[in-house]
């Protein structure tokens, strides 16, 4: 019997130092999400703005709708735009107009302007320019520049007839304000109103001036109107008015405060 050879000692495992256990941090909770999911309409609106900026349209639409159903005009307006464009929700102009009108009723000037345009053009609803003019006037009272110019266009085209004398005077003042700020449409309309004596005293020299200023901005109809008005003026009058138009500089537009 052969002798057994002694076995090899077992290999030693290397000693490993493990770091002490670290406390587990709780997940970060975004208070905006908490407020929005808790029913706060302003938080829902602000969260929707954030999500829209991140191009997460379906989520944005969801939170806009939640705030809109609570009566927040800004959310109603933004949700209406998403419905109209089919962003995050199926495209539905009829439903968009209903939401848009809700926002307009809530006093949002941009919604009032859009409701007026949609009614005037028959978008999402039947075409009723007279009702559209009511919304446009409300937006105009709030200083909405585009509403003022669009409203003037309806009146000058004869699509809105039931205006009182003071309302026509008011409209002429608004159009003049926008013309002074450099809006070429308002400048053309101010020329027409001056030529016709609509809301202001008839003044062919003033009509020529505003049409000349608008024509310099590329308004072809203003150039044609200017040439017709020139027939009622002397050569010297035309020369002086052209010189005045060359010196015209628009007024700076006021910066609107954030909503």
Q: Which residues of 63-90 are buried (b: 16+ CB within 10 A; e: fewer)?
A: bbbbbbeeebbbbbbbbbbbbbeeebbe
Both tokens of 9, joined, read: 């000692």
Which residues have C-beta within 8 Å of that of residue 106, sequence separation ≥ 6? Answer: 71, 72, 73, 76
pLDDT of 24-53, one tens digit each? 666 677 899 999 999 999 999 999 999 999
**Per-residue pLDDT at 13:** 64
pLDDT of 121-173, one tens digit each? 999 999 999 999 999 999 999 999 999 999 999 999 999 888 899 999 999 99
Q: How far apart are CA 144 and CA 132, in angstroms?
A: 15
Signed CA dihedral, 104, 109, 110, 114: sign only: positive
Q: Where are the domains of the chain?
A: 32-106, 109-162, 168-250
SS (HEC) of 194-218: HHHCCCCCCCHHHHHHHHHHHHHCC
Q: Are 61 and 91 in contact (CB under 8 A)?
A: no
CATH topology of domain 32-106: 1.25.40
pLDDT of 102-135, one tens digit each? 999 999 999 999 999 999 999 999 999 999 999 9
pLDDT(180) > 70? yes
């Amino acid at each position: 019997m052969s002798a057994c050879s002694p076995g090899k000692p077992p290999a030693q495992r290397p000693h490993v130092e493990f770091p002490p256990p670290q406390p587990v941090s709780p997940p970060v909770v975004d208070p905006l999400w908490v407020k929005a999911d808790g029913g706060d309409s302003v938080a829902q609106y602000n969260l929707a703005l954030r999500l829209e900026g991140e191009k997460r349209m379906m989520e944005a639409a969801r939170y806009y709708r939640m705030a809109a159903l609570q009566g927040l005009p800004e959310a109603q307006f933004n949700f209406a735009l998403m419905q109209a464009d089919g962003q995050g929700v199926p495209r539905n102009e009829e439903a968009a107009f209903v939401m848009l009108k809700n926002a307009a009723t809530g006093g949002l000037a941009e919604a009032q302007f859009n409701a007026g345009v949609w009614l005037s053009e028959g978008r999402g609803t039947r075409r009723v320019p007279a009702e559209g003019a009511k919304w446009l006037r409300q937006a105009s009272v709030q200083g909405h520049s585009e509403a003022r110019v669009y409203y003037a266009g309806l009146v000058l085209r004869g699509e809105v007839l039931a205006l009182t004398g003071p309302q026509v005077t008011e409209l002429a003042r608004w159009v003049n304000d926008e013309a002074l700020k450099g809006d070429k449409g308002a400048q053309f309309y101010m020329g027409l109103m001056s030529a016709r004596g609509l809301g202001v005293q008839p003044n062919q020299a003033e009509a020529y001036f505003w049409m000349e200023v608008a024509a310099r901005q590329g308004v072809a109809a203003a150039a044609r109107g200017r040439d017709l008005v020139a027939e009622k003026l002397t050569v010297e009058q035309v020369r002086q008015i052209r010189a005045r138009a060359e010196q015209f500089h628009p007024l700076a537009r006021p910066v609107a405060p954030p909503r």
